[in-house]
Chains A and B, each alone.
Chain A
Amino acid sequence: MAKSLGIFVTSPQNMRHVMGITTAAKAKGSKVKVFFTWYGIHLTKCKEFPSLCELADEVSICVDSYKKSGYDPADIPKGLEAKDMATQGQHGAIIEEYECYLTL
């Protein structure tokens, strides 16, 4: 049976895995939440990022990491809303509320 899945993204190298796993999980009927932090936030600039936001149930990023990486927090990546420019509390929510956990 499909379980809910939380994905914590800390690497800038794994967009194909984030997309592939999220796509497969949704096909199985899972609820999926993805949170990007530190250099993982560079993946918001990938062309697939807006598709990921449509596919997953929730996507958010660490706004502090985004700012420290030289991006303007007012420049919200396509696919996200202001509320998704978030804190490490989103990582806590994945751990507390989702049945399965992956780090990519």
Chain B
Amino acid sequence: MSKKVGFLLVNKDYTLDGIRSALGLAVENMYSYAYVLNNELTDVSDYHKENIDWIRDMEGEVYTTVDANVENLGMVKISLEEIGQQLRDLEFIIPYGILRSDKS
């Protein structure tokens, strides 16, 4: 049975690569979800936009708590509480990279 994995992406310096890593598991036939928390992505290349589309095509999703990411990149809006509830159903939870130094 396909595993369910979730990437938690809280740091702008790590988020786009975390999405690439999430795609890497989607192509390994896993249900792969990415959650972009509290960081607005700017200067996103076509390559990275395609990665978001591919995750979706492979029955995964890229969620975000940030309105600008919804408007600019078509990510799905989600609240912190909803993320927590979704994580309860996942077998692998991956807090990716490091927290931002400003702790916001």
Contacts and interface: CB of A to CB of B under 8 A. Distances in A.
Direct touch of chains A and B (CB < 8 A): yes
A11 B30 contact: no
Interface of B: 3, 5, 13-14, 17-18, 20-21, 23-25, 28, 30, 92, 94-98
A64 B92 CA distance: 23
Given A12-B98, A88-B24, 6 more contacts: A11-B98, A65-B17, A91-B25, A92-B25, A95-B92, A101-B92
Interface string A34-46: 0001110000000
Nearest to B93: A103
B17 A38 contact: yes
B3 A96 contact: yes
Contacts of B98: 11-13
Interface in A1-52: 8, 10-13, 37-39
